[in-house]
Structure 1
Amino acid sequence: MDLDAASPTGFGRGTAAAARAATPGEVDCDPGRLLERLNQAVRLPEVFGGLPAVVRLLDRLAASEAQGTHQVWIPDTNGRLAPSMMLREGFPAPDIHVVASQYGEDAHRRGWLRLDRTLTSAEHADVVERALTWSQNDRSLHELVAEFGPPSVTFGSTDPDRPKTVSYVTGDRTAPVAAFHFGSARTGAAAGTGDGSRVGAVLLGVRVHDDFLGGWELTPFGEDRFC
């Protein structure tokens, strides 16, 4: 995958700290405007200032709600064998949407993420229970939507042929977030099949929580890309 030119260098360790240092500027503390800007930036960070803008907005929202500054967001964490860290750093050139989706999960936990679709408890349970097994085969975005319906939020381009992360969540902010990561397969045979060329967005893997055992799954195509 091509690394988006708008993304900062160094996904993972020090991501948020580097972003904070890289983005001085005028402080806007109005919660309504901050929420609006966050929901734009986290969906399309390459258009709205990159990952530094997302971090800055998260920090300002936390400060406006007296949660304190310098929160530890998911991309700040580097737990050994944590799927969130491995998905950020395990591919040769991780796309900006992978990291943005983890910031989006942080925003959802705090009630800041505006959802395009809120799953019912039954719909959410179905996604969480079947996501890992379903992702043991190569899948397209079309297949995902046909199986589980439209996602709750899309991080990255809405073009079905472009890399992106789509997440499924319910109104319970403590419940698992099922995040499906898609990368580009521009040329060559589809991974794991050997049955000709394949283009467009292809599922790399899914993460439902941060337990190394039972928290994530890679597709055959994702395994071929994973370091």
Structure 2
Amino acid sequence: MEQVVVVIIRRKTVCVTLPTPLAAAEEIYDHLIDQLNLALRRPGMYGGEVAFRVLIDHLLFVERQPEAWNELQRSWEEQGLWTPLGPRGAFKDVFPAQPGSYEVASVYAEFAHRRGWLKPDRVLAVEEYEALTGRVRGWAAVDRTWADVTAEFGPPSVLFGGTNPLYGKTLGYLPKDPQLPMVVFHLWNGSEPEAEPWPPQPEQPLLLAVRFGGGSFHGSLTFTPEGERRKPTLEDPCLTQ
């Protein structure tokens, strides 16, 4: 709102409109964090990876640590997560194509969590996190659905994507310690190549892989049988796009 100041000059009342003051640095910072959290949860509505990059760039500028982006990129390169397409290229090699950038959002969310920007819906207690990481790889040795994941491990810390079961999504489970890796469930929904594209046949998104660990990208993935079956091949036209 504009400020209106009443000034009395020689018994005359004059209204002077002053410019609206700009937001304080703390308000701008909090706003950027809120926008990043919204973009990570609904990447399709905010522009996907471009939105993540812009918001993170602004946040690092406000924190006066722009060099953190180059450090992050180097760490992703070491893990095999950074490609000419960014993290999207790494996922493109192992998951079937689907709209939304949910899997990429989970990677940026891990960085946001370490920076203290991420606002999870819940965090796992130490015992919960240890139980999850201790058995999830074996649990993913058989095919699972979205409903199976939440029934077994509870609601996620962050849901990347919407609640409509006809679309894929990614579920992230976070410990209290931001230095520990997030446990990520990558789910897909879609149609077979020869079928009508919509609606998809599965009533629930199918679990393709569980991802966690601080080592290489490929080493962090545990595929379900469905995930192994749906890995892109050299003949897949999506790989040439």
TM-score bracket for the superposition, by shorter chain length: 0.7 to 0.9
* Local SS of the residue matching 1:137: coil
Contact 1:42 1:54 (8 Å CA) reproduced: yes
1:89 matched to 2:93? The reply is yes
TM-score by length of 2: 0.71
Corresponding residue to 2:226 among 205, 221, 227: 221
Are 2:199 and 1:201 aligned?
Answer: no
Report the equivalent of 1:120: 125
Could you tell me which amino acid in structure 1 is paired with residue 31 of structure 2? R
Identity %: 34
Q: Which has the higher helix share?
A: 2
Deviations for 1:187-226, whole angstroms, at most 9, x for unmatched residues?
59xxxxxxxx743300010111143586320011110111
Deviation at 1:82, TM superposition (A): 5.9
1:158 to 2:163 alignment: yes
Distance change >3 Å, CA 88–CA 109, structure 1 → 2:
farther
1:143 match:
148
Q: Deviations over 1:62-92 (max 9, x none)?
A: 1111221570446983447669774353234
Q: What count of residue pairs does the alignment treat as equivalent?
A: 192
Q: Distance in 1 between matches of 2:184 and 2:155?
A: 13
Gaps in structure 2 of 5+ consecutive residues: 1-23, 194-200, 233-241
Partner of 1:14 in structure 2?
none
Q: Which amino acid aligns with 1:41?
A: A
Structure 1 residue 166: deviation in Å?
A: 0.5
TM-score (norm 1): 0.75
Larger Rg: 2
Q: What are the within-5 Å matches in structure 2 for residues 38-77 of structure 1?
A: 38-68=36-66, 71-72=69-70, 73=72, 77=76
Change (3 A) 1:187 1:225: closer
Residue type matched to 1:168 in 2?
A: Y
- Contact 1:186–1:200 at 8 Å: present in 2 too? no
Q: Write the letter of the residue equivalent to 1:59.
A: D
Deviations 1:98-153 (A, max 9, x none): 11111111101111000001111111111111111111111011111110110000
Give the deviation of 1:94 after TM superposition.
5.3
Tell me, which stretches of 5 or more residues in structure 1 are unaligned? Answer: 1-27, 189-196
